[in-house]
């Protein structure tokens, strides 16, 4: 009705929307105000509609056709309790260069429970602070991950999967060692229990442990970038076993040649290799911005019933200490921090401790993980650390009694047996030749289509050229390219998960603002940006394959 339209117009006119922002809107109602918001906001504005009542939403969707609204990528829907699942779709917005998260916008007719929408806003901010950094890292490191994977395959292709350890270790306590300041006072405890428990650490605390005669049963690394190598410099890794993804930094992988257990959370390159070798897919391990999260997930894979956190302070100490006194960080003074901004959260033995942004993400990652487990007891031994929900603080004396008289010998023997029985590396060129040929076809077709679109004269944008032969041919070419891409989902995954991913995100940002009265012209212009994105990704991938799998003198173009 006219009055409804007037109400919506006045409501929208009263909103001052920032570009490239994420909003929450209260209530779905009949969807009309949501559709109005979508129609009258810019292409960079994303929004999540928070609906408290699932039954009301179900009734609305049964009576009104909201399919076009639900299909729009700027629109997200959260229903019921504002928990992890409620905000699952904000990953899409996190890839769209959102500059800020703004307020809850109260709808003209759907704001019955203000307290509920306050909770939605608070949780939206928290979720976004956790998700955004991880999505940005995922996008930035995608080419590095693929490049490292190709480089590591000669060493890692035959490596045993971490799942092959089996679940026969569940009664051996599992100790996750971090490099927080409290590690310095944990050394005597670790020495006394190193034969009774499975001690696992990352590169950061490794030097401290080895310099004090503590040999971890596994060393984890996950970061694909060069700075993580610092933790292994000046350290004798002989006799140590590494656990890592296929995308680990190659120089570290070479240090542990023949002594590596692998995992594969999501890596289509590795999937091709495993399939060729008739091996099951690699085990997925949680990779949420911190290698300690990976270690924690191993405890789940092993079925560990008792898990202890040592040196996992997850906060900046009152004197500014961030890390242990013996690590790559302390070499340049990086074990102290001048950061004073962050969250003031409950500590294990202090009322409040300072948790800066990065550590806050780690803390929430741990708490979410612990909350999803059952039948597992967690204890936190970081006296000066932040309180981890689900892992109560325990002192060293009580922890020794809690561990009891167990033995880690069976774990050590299992690792040695797995490493001893590795097969040889397959002929990698045979594995990737079909993939390379498929990618080359996509490259040639998409590059040609993009270039042909660039050559179109500007006059073809006029409405009277909408059925022009050249434009219709380009639309036909687009269908052919999509058919070529769809012929092999595995090869497309390899292509997309490298440089192409970032190129496609950039294409989406460009395409949303391309619009002309001549809809066929608009379509070919959007397609052009897509073809350039695909061409860039193909070109990069072909070069990587040639440099690292095929003969170095082979040219990719």
The answer, yes or no, to whether residue 552 has pLDDT greater than 70, is no
Sheet containing strand 100-105, edge to edge, reads: 75-79, 46-51, 21-26, 100-105
CB atoms within 10 A of CB 195: 12
pLDDT per residue as tens digits for the range 23-51: 888 888 888 888 888 888 877 788 888 88
CA pair distance 236, 234, nearest whole angstrom: 7
Note the pTM of the prediction, 2 decimals: 0.79
- β partners of residue 317: none
The mean predicted confidence, pLDDT, of the chain is: 87
What is the structure's pLDDT at 97?
A: 58
Contact status, residue 334 vs residue 204, Cβ threshold 8 Å = no
What is the structure's pLDDT at 397?
A: 96
Lowest mean pLDDT among 69-73, 456-460, 482-486: 69-73
What is the structure's pLDDT at 555?
A: 41
What is the structure's pLDDT at 103?
A: 64
Residue 556 pLDDT class (50, 70, 90 cuts): very low
Buried b (16+ CB within 10 A) or exposed e, 485-494: beebeebbeb
Query: In this structure, what token pair is assigned to residue 299?
Result: 């405890």
Residue that the structure tokens 């603080």 belong to: 393
What is the structure's pLDDT at 398?
A: 97
More confident residue, 194 or 332: 194
The answer, yes or no, to whether residue 87 has pLDDT greater than 60, is yes
The answer, yes or no, to whether residue 10 has pLDDT greater than 90, is no
**Phi/psi zone of residue 27: left (φ > 0), alpha (ψ -120 to 50 degrees), beta?**
left
In this prediction, residues 377-396 reach a mean pLDDT of 96
- β partners of residue 377: 306
Q: What is residue 283's DSSP assignment?
A: P
State whether the Cα torsion 50-54-56-59 is positive or negative.
Answer: positive
CA pair distance 373, 376, nearest whole angstrom: 7
For the chain, the residue count is: 557
Tell me the C-alpha to C-alpha distance, in Å, between residue 361 and each of 30, 222, 357, 366, 418.
37, 17, 7, 9, 34
DSSP-H helix ranges across 40-113: 54-63, 67-71, 90-94
Tell me the C-alpha to C-alpha distance, in Å, between residue 303 and each of 165, 226, 260.
11, 32, 21
Nearest 10 degrees: Cα torsion 540, 541, 543, 549: 160
What is the structure's pLDDT at 99?
A: 60
More confident residue, 278 or 292: 278
What is the structure's pLDDT at 502?
A: 86
CB atoms within 10 A of CB 176: 26
The CA radius of gyration of the chain, in Å to the nearest whole number, is 27
CA pair distance 534, 346, nearest whole angstrom: 48
Pairing of strands 218-220, 46-51: unpaired
| Burial class (CB within 10 angstroms; exposed 0-12, middle 13-18, buried 19+) of 37 | buried
More confident residue, 517 or 321: 517
What is the structure's pLDDT at 93?
A: 65
CA pair distance 514, 521, nearest whole angstrom: 10
What is the structure's pLDDT at 442?
A: 97
Three-class DSSP labels, 198-261: EEEEEHHHHHHHHHCCCCCCEEECCCCCHHHHHHHCCCCCCCCCEEEECCCCHHHHHHCCCCEE
More confident residue, 105 or 502: 502
Query: In this structure, what token pair is assigned to residue 423?
Result: 């097969």
- β partners of residue 309: 176, 380
Q: Which CATH number fits domain 2-133: 3.40.50, 1.20.1740, 3.30.70, 1.10.3470?
A: 3.40.50
Query: In this structure, what token pair is assigned to residue 32?
Result: 């009309």
What is the structure's pLDDT at 84?
A: 74
CA pair distance 143, 247, nearest whole angstrom: 10
CA pair distance 220, 128, nearest whole angstrom: 27
What is the structure's pLDDT at 557?
A: 40
Mean pLDDT is highest, among 131-140, 318-327, 460-469, for: 460-469
Q: Which helix (H) or strand (E) holds 370?
A: helix 357-371
pLDDT per residue as tens digits for the range 168-190: 899 999 999 999 999 999 999 99
The answer, yes or no, to whether residue 1 has pLDDT greater than 60, is no
What is the structure's pLDDT at 22?
A: 80
């Amino acid at each position: 009705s006219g009055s409804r339209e007037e109400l919506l117009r006045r409501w929208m006119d009263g909103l001052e929307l920032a570009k490239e922002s994420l909003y929450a809107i209260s209530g779905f109602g009949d969807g009309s105000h949501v559709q109005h918001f979508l129609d009258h906001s810019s292409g960079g504005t994303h929004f999540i509609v928070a609906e408290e009542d699932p039954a009301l939403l179900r009734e609305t969707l049964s009576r009104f056709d909201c399919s076009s609204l639900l299909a729009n990528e700027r629109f997200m829907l959260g229903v019921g309790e504002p928990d992890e699942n409620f905000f699952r779709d904000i990953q899409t917005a996190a890839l769209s260069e959102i500059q800020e998260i703004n307020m809850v916008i109260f709808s003209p007719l759907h704001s019955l429970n203000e307290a509920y929408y306050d909770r939605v806003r608070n949780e939206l901010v928290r979720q976004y602070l956790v998700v955004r950094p991880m999505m940005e890292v995922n996008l930035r490191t995608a080419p590095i991950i693929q490049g490292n994977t190709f480089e590591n395959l000669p060493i890692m292709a035959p490596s045993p999967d971490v799942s092959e350890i089996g679940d026969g270790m569940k009664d051996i306590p599992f100790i996750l060692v971090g490099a927080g300041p409290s590690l310095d006072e944990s050394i005597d405890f670790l020495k006394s229990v190193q034969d009774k428990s499975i001690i696992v650490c990352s590169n950061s605390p490794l030097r401290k442990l080895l310099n004090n005669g503590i040999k971890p049963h596994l060393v984890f690394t996950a970061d694909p970038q060069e700075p993580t190598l610092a933790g292994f410099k000046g350290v004798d890794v002989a006799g140590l076993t590494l656990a890592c993804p296929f995308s680990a930094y190659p120089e570290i992988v070479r240090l542990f040649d023949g002594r590596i257990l692998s995992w594969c959370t999501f890596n289509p390159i590795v999937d091709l290799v495993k399939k060729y070798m008739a091996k099951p897919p690699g085990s997925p391990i949680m990779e949420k911005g911190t290698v300690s999260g990976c270690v924690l997930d191993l405890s789940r894979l092993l079925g560990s019933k008792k898990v202890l956190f040592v040196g996992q302070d997850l906060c900046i100490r009152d004197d500014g200490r961030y890390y242990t006194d013996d690590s790559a960080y302390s070499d340049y003074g990086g074990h102290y921090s001048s950061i004073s901004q962050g969250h003031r959260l409950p500590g294990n033995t202090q009322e409040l401790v300072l948790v800066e942004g990065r550590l806050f993400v780690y803390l929430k990652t741990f708490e979410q993980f612990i909350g999803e487990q059952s039948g597992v007891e967690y204890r936190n031994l970081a006296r000066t650390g932040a309180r981890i929900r689900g892992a109560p603080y325990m002192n060293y004396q009580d922890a020794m009694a809690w561990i009891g008289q167990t033995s880690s010998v069976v774990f050590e023997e299992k690792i040695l047996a797995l490493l001893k029985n590795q097969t040889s590396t397959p002929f990698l060129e045979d594995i990737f030749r079909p993939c390379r040929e498929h990618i080359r076809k996509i490259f040639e077709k998409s590059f040609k289509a993009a270039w042909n679109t660039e050559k179109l004269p500007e006059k073809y944008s006029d409405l009277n050229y909408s059925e022009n032969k050249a434009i219709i041919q380009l639309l036909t070419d687009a269908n052919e390219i999509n058919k070529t891409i769809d012929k092999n989902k595995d090869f497309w995954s390899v292509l997309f998960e490298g440089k192409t991913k970032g190129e496609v995100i950039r294409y989406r940002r460009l395409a949303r603002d391309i619009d002309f009265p001549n809809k066929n012209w608009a379509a070919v212009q959007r397609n052009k940006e897509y073809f350039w994105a695909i061409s860039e990704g193909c070109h990069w991938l072909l070069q990587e394959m040639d440099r690292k799998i095929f003969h170095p003198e082979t040219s990719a173009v």
